[in-house]
Structure 1
Amino acid sequence: MKGREERLKLIRQIIRSSRVRSQEELLERLAAYGHRITQATLSRDLKLLKVGKVAEGENGYYYILPGENETEGEVGNNFVQDFIRGFRSLEFSGNLAVIRTLPGHANSVAFALDTFQIPSLLGTVAGDDTIIAVLKEGTSREAFLETLSRYIPSFRGA
């Protein structure tokens, strides 16, 4: 059995060198190199590597590593567009933010938030159309909204 670090390196190499559009496609490519893993293991690896999906017009989506395959400005702009495209609403409860998205957009909106590396945001958990964002203790709603509007100038809040 091949090691995890070797597999992660191979996943990065495959994603950098081609437009992979599905986990099934990536599983097949890994198997061709002798890495036979389950979809659940691949899903955990993609999360660990912070792999996201970028829209490619009518061709669907393809995987991208954070900060790679495009210039940094283009990557940032793509993530802003992903956020804007999927965002519906934002509500707070304590240090939790509940973000509603269009169906199927929660992962790309959460990935965009994580990619921005907002200092007051500890992390996100995404479902299909809902994201839970955990804010650092002591972060006010107003401060988070102000910071978010710096990353996404067209953002108007809840």
Structure 2
Amino acid sequence: MKNKRNRLQVISEILRSTLVGSQEELLRILSERQCEVTQATLSRDLKLLKVAKTPLSNGAYKYILPAYNKPLPSTGTVNTLISHGAVLSMEFSGQLGVVKTKPGYASAIAWDIDNKATDHVLGTIAGDDTILVIPREGVTRDDILEMMNITFSEKD
């Protein structure tokens, strides 16, 4: 699987639903899902996802995702994410939007924006807690806010 974003999503889904104790085991599960990846790439992916290994009561170990990597609400609107505390604010500089999130949420929210707002958004760039939203030509701030289901009051 060449698409890194999709691969990271598959790894996250596996770790949420399956008890995985080693990279070899995870590589085997990925291979069963037709997701061929090298051990080195998997190691980098686990580091990027901030996966930790925790001991179990039987002496074995289990890979776990950090708490902020838990699945976001399925409705996917930014309003829902705000109500869950993931999105903290959105401001504009010219036509560019800057979304501030809790640490660790920016990539997932940017991915959602990129996949659900293709008519309005050319693309996003995400860090750990900040997203740059780049609107398409002719799309206004109000269009972006409406698309994201956010109502902001004017600042004084």
Give the shorter-chain TM-score range: 0.5 to 0.7
CA distance in 2 between counterparts of 1:15 and 1:128 reads: 19
* SS of residue matched to 1:103: coil
CA distance in 2 between counterparts of 1:25 and 1:114 reads: 33
Count of residues in Structure 1 that have an aligned counterpart in Structure 2: 119
Per-residue displacement from partner, 1:85-111 (whole Å, max 9, x unpaired)?
A: 311111112331111112222122212
* Deviation beyond 6 Å, 4+ runs, structure 1: none
Cα RMSD (Å): 4.3
CA distance in 1 between counterparts of 2:134 and 2:141 reads: 12
* Displacement of 1:42: 6.5
Q: Which residue of 2 aligns with 1:126?
A: 126
**TM-score scaled by length of structure 1:** 0.53
* Displacement of 1:121: 0.4
* Displacement of 1:60: 5.7
CA distance in 2 between counterparts of 1:25 and 1:83 reads: 34
CA distance in 2 between counterparts of 1:59 and 1:103 reads: 8
Q: Which residue of 2 aligns with 1:108?
A: 108
* SS of residue matched to 2:148: helix
Q: Which residue of 1 aligns with 2:152?
A: 157
| Percent identity of paired positions between Structure 1 and Structure 2 | 26
* Displacement of 1:31: 5.8
CA distance in 1 between counterparts of 2:22 and 2:132 reads: 28
* Displacement of 1:15: 3.5
**TM-score scaled by length of structure 2:** 0.54
Aligned residue identity for 1:112:
D
Aligned residue identity for 1:61:
K
Cα 1:39–1:135 shift into 2, 3 Å: same
Does residue 61 (structure 1) correspond to residue 82 (structure 2)? The answer is no
Q: Please say if residues 97 and 133 of structure 2, whose CA atoms lie closer than 8 Å, have aligned partners that are also in contact.
A: yes
